[in-house]
Amino acid sequence: MPSSTSERDTTGAIACSDLVRVFSTRGVEVQALQGLSLEVASGSVMAVVGSSGSGKSTLLRILSGLDAPTAGRATVAGHDLLEMGSAERLEFRRHSVGFVWQQTARNLLPYLTAAENVALACTIGRQSRSARSATTRELLSLLAIEDCSDRRPPELSGGQQQRVAIAVAMANAPRVLLADEPTGELDDAASAEVLAAMNQVNAERGTTVLVVTHDATVSDHVERTVQIRDGRTSSEVLRTTTVDETGADRVVAREYAVLDRVGRLQLPDEFTSRLDLRDRVRLELEPDHVGVWPADEETEEGGR
């Protein structure tokens, strides 16, 4: 369950502004990101949710240093992704960010045991033999998979494989953990376990976690969910835990629309379809809110 953000360091672990990524294939241009801006506070857990083709994987490839934006700015764990040279990029990928991908084959070597997979990742961070075995033990224990230590990936369930993948990603204590559809091939119970494992890593190590997924139910497991639509952030859900009068935890989820620097706002699809809002809407500034109405004749005359 997500914890309160009130005591967290709010220095940004990830900051992107106006990210644009244009792909050109055989003379056809696709704008995968269309001016996306996103701030992720250090030590937080958040999800970026969007439908297929909305730009999620493109965003993650940029944040992990695998791809560069066409325009815009991006900083991750204190590294400016547009300015860094090849030596800094290597250091960044070794020590600052960890990755978990949807396909377990991409995360783990099938002929090594779970413990050997984690230990191998430690060698990339140049850890000594004793440090490697201590790190491996600690991570397998933190992720509650010590009993899987001597098993190879084909002998593990999908959820166990993804928890080993998280241990591999955490081997060199990155500040930021990035995950692309980490639950995409799992059933609900295994997905919940993997998301709980990510929350556990965040709670114990203070690692900032960013998950991108098409699965909207992930927002039940994280404190902040940003919706991405057409290569831009559109709305966000914040979950906070408060203690009620009986002393029990109460989770409150609130939905917000994202207002960008030039004042653009995307209304949720269900709002626009319910009120048949399109082309042009009527706005009215009230002392404490802005009213939005369909701009048809009846509304123009009849008010609200």
Ligand X SMILES: Nc1ncnc2c1ncn2[C@@H]1O[C@H](COP(=O)(O)OP(=O)(O)OP(=O)(O)O)[C@@H](O)[C@H]1O
Question: According to the binding rule CB under 6 A, does residue 136 interact with ligand X?
Answer: no
Exactly one of 18, 56, 176, 258 binds ligand X (CB under 6 A); which one? 56
Please, which residue, 54 or 161, has the CB nearer to ligand X? 54
Q: Give me the 181-220 binding string for ligand X, x by CB under 6 A, dash otherwise.
A: ---------------------------------x------
Of the candidate spans 53-61, 79-87, 120-128, 273-281, the one that interacts with ligand X by CB under 6 A turns out to be 53-61
Of the candidate spans 46-54, 115-123, 239-247, 287-295, the one that interacts with ligand X by CB under 6 A turns out to be 46-54
What span, in angstroms and rounded, lies between the C-alpha atoms of 62 and 98?
A: 13
- Spatial neighbors of 124 by CB under 8 A, at least 6 apart, are 94, 171, 172
Q: Least distance to ligand X from the beta carbon of 298, Å? A: 39
Instruction: For residue 179, list its beta bridge partners.
Output: 100, 211
Question: According to the binding rule CB under 6 A, does residue 251 interact with ligand X?
Answer: no
Residue located via tokens 């629309």:
257
Helix, strand, coil share of the chain (percent; to 5): 35, 30, 35
What span, in angstroms and rounded, lies between the C-alpha atoms of 276 and 236?
A: 22
- Residue 210: CB atoms within 10 Å: 28
Report the relative pairing of strands 45-49 and 224-229 from DSSP bridges. Answer: parallel
What span, in angstroms and rounded, lies between the C-alpha atoms of 198 and 212?
A: 13
Question: According to the binding rule CB under 6 A, does residue 243 interact with ligand X?
Answer: no
Residue located via tokens 């090849």:
86
Please, which residue, 60 or 121, has the CB nearer to ligand X? 60
Q: Are 209 and 177 in contact (CB under 8 A)?
A: yes
Of the candidate spans 38-46, 47-55, 241-249, 254-262, the one that interacts with ligand X by CB under 6 A turns out to be 47-55
Please, which residue, 53 or 110, has the CB nearer to ligand X? 53
Query: Could you tell me how many residues of this chain bind ligand X (CB under 6 A)?
Result: 13
Question: According to the binding rule CB under 6 A, does residue 72 interact with ligand X?
Answer: no
Q: Are 77 and 96 in contact (CB under 8 A)?
A: yes
Please, which residue, 12 or 50, has the CB nearer to ligand X? 50
Q: Give me the 14-43 binding string for ligand X, x by CB under 6 A, dash otherwise.
A: ---------x-x----x-x-----------
Question: According to the binding rule CB under 6 A, does residue 106 interact with ligand X?
Answer: no
User: At 297, which helix (H) or strand (E)?
Assistant: helix 297-302
Exactly one of 42, 57, 161, 199 binds ligand X (CB under 6 A); which one? 57
Angle between helices 158-169 and 114-124 (to 10 degrees): 20
Cα 65–46–88 angle (5° rounding)?
Answer: 20
Question: According to the binding rule CB under 6 A, does residue 137 interact with ligand X?
Answer: no
Binding residues for ligand X, rule: CB under 6 A, are 23, 25, 30, 32, 50, 52-58, 214
